[in-house]
Structure 1
Amino acid sequence: MISAFFQHLEQTQQRTVSLITQQGYDQLLIGSGSLHGHFLDDTRYPFRPNPHFVLWVPFLAEHPDCWLLVRNGQKPVLFYYTPTDFWHLTPELPSDEWTKAFELVAYDDFAAVESQLKGHNTAVINEQLVTITASDNTAINQNPQALITALNFHRAVKTEWEQHCLREANYLAVKGHAAAEAAFLAGKSEYEINQIYFSAIAHNERDMPYDNIIGLNEHAAVLHYQFQQRTVPDQHRTLLIDAGARFNSYAADITRTFTPEGSLFADLVRGLDDLQQQLCNQISAGSNFIALHEQMHLMIADLLNRFGIITANPEIQLEQGITRTFYPHGLGHLLGLQVHDVGGWQQDEAGTLLNPPEEHPFLRLTRTLEEGHVITIEPGVYFIPQLLKELKNSPSSEHVNWAMVEQLLPYGGIRIEDNICVQKDGSENYTRDGFAKL
Structure 2
Amino acid sequence: MACYRMGPETHAIPMTLFRENREKVIAELRKGRTFSGRALILLQGGDNISLYDTDVDYVFRQESYFTYLFGVTEPGCYGTVDVASGATTLYMPRLPAEYAVWMGPLLTPDDFRKKYEVDAVHYADEIESKIAALNPSVLLTLAGPNTDSGLQAKPANFSGIEKFVVDSDILFPVIAECRVIKSPAEIEVLRYVARVSSDAHKQVMKQIRPGWHEYQGESVFLHHSYSVGGCRHMSYTCICGAGSNSAILHYGHAGSPNDRLIQDGDMCLFDMGANYGGYTSDITCSFPVNGKFTDDQKLVYNAVLAARDAVCASAKDGVSWVDMHLLANRVMLGELKKGGLLKGEVEDMMAAGLNAIFQPHGLGHLLGLDVHDVGGYLSHCPERPNEPGVNRLRMARKLKAGMYVTIEPGCYFIEPLLNKAFADPNMSQFLKKQEIDRFRNFGGVRIEDDVLITENGIENFTFVPRTVEEIEAWMAQS
State the TM-score, normalizing by the size of structure 1. 0.88
- Matched residue, 2:321: 289
CA distance in structure 1 between the partners assigned to 2:104 and 2:44 by the alignment: 18
Q: Which residue matches 1:37?
A: 50
| Partner Cα distance (2:125, 2:25) in 1 | 25
Q: Counterparts of 1:299-338 in structure 2 under 5 Å?
A: 299-338=331-370
Worse overlay, 150-159 or 402-411: 402-411
User: Which of 166, 190, 208 matches 1:166?
Assistant: 190
Distance 1:426 1:302 in 2: 24
After TM superposition, give the deviation of residue 134 of structure 1 in Å: 5.1
Q: Letter of the 1:432 partner, please give it.
A: F
C-alpha RMSD over aligned residues: 3.0
The structure 2 residue matched to 1:77, chosen from 85, 89, 92, is 89
Alignment of 1:238-277 (within 5 A): 238-259=267-288, 260-277=292-309
Q: Which amino acid aligns with 1:113?
A: I
1:49 is paired with a residue of what secondary structure?
A: coil
In the alignment, which of 160, 168, 192 is matched to residue 133 of structure 1? 160
Which deviates the most, 97-106 or 373-382?
A: 97-106
**1:299/1:51 CA distance change after superposition, 3 Å:** same
- C-alpha displacement at 1:209, in angstroms? 1.1
CA contact (8 A) 2:409 2:446 kept: yes
- Aligned partners of 1:185 and 1:31: how far apart in 2? 47
Matched, 1:116 2:116: no
Correspondence for 2:25: 16
DSSP 3-state at the match of 2:396: coil
Counterpart in the other structure of 1:198? 222
The aligned amino acid for 1:117 is I
SS in 2 for 1:218: helix
Task: Give structure 2 stretches of 5+ with no counterpart.
Answer: 4-11, 143-152
1:27 is matched with 40
Identify the residue that residue 147 of structure 2 maps to in structure 1.
none
The structure-2 alpha-carbon separation of the partners of 1:374 and 1:221, relative to structure 1 and needing over 3 Å to count, comes to same
Q: Percent identity?
A: 23
- Which piece of structure 1 moves more, 84-93 or 421-430? 84-93
SS at match of 2:369: coil
1:164–1:279 CA distance, 2 compared to 1 (3 A): same
Residue of structure 1 equivalent to 2:374: 342
The alpha-carbon deviation at position 124 of structure 1 amounts to: 3.0
Provide, for residues 117-145 of structure 1, a one-character-per-residue CA deviation record: whole Å limited to 9, x for no partner.
21222123474752332587x3234xx13
Task: Return closer, same or farther for 1:216/1:322 CA change in 2, 3 Å cut-off.
Answer: same
| 1-structure distance, mates of 2:91, 2:174 | 25
- Judging changes above 3 Å, is the alpha-carbon distance between structure 1 residues 231 and 214 closer, same or farther for their aligned structure 2 residues? closer
Give the Cα–Cα distance (whole angstroms) in 1 for the partners of residues 119 and 43 of structure 2. Answer: 15
Q: Alignment partner for residue 210 of structure 1, among 216, 230, 236?
A: 236
Contact residue 242 and residue 260 of structure 2 kept, 8 A: no
2:430 maps to which residue? Answer: 399
Deviation of 1:195 (Å): 0.9
CA, structure 1 residues 431+404, in 2 after alignment: closer, same or farther (shift >3 Å)?
Answer: same
**8 Å CA contact retained: 2:180, 2:375:** yes
The 1:100/1:272 distance shift into structure 2, 3 A limit, reads closer
Q: Is the 8 A contact 2:402 2:453 kept in 1?
A: yes
State the Cα distance separating 1:38 from its structure 2 match.
4.0
Structure-2 residue corresponding to 1:146: 170
CA contact (8 A) 2:196 2:274 kept: yes
Higher mean Cα deviation, 260-269 or 247-256?
260-269
1:17 alignment partner, SS class: helix
Distance 1:31 1:183, change over 3 A: same
Identify the match of residue 118 of structure 2 among 98, 102, 112: 102
Q: Which moved more, 1:339-348 or 1:172-181?
A: 339-348
Provide TM-score, normalisation by structure 2. Answer: 0.81
Compared with structure 1, are the counterparts of its residues 131 and 77 closer, same or farther at alpha carbon in structure 2 (3 Å cutoff)? closer
Deviations 1:270-291 (A, max 9, x none): 3321331231122111111111
Distance 1:90 1:32, change over 3 A: farther
Letter in 2 for 1:401: K
Unaligned runs of 5+ in 1: none
Provide the rounded CA distance (Å) in 1 between the counterparts of 2:58 and 2:116.
32
Q: Is the 8 A contact 1:75 1:101 kept in 2?
A: no
CA gap 1:8/1:434 in 2 versus in 1, 3 angstroms: farther
CA pair 115-236 structure 1, distance change in 2 beyond 3 A: farther
- Kindly provide the amino acid, as one letter, of the partner of residue 112 in structure 1: E
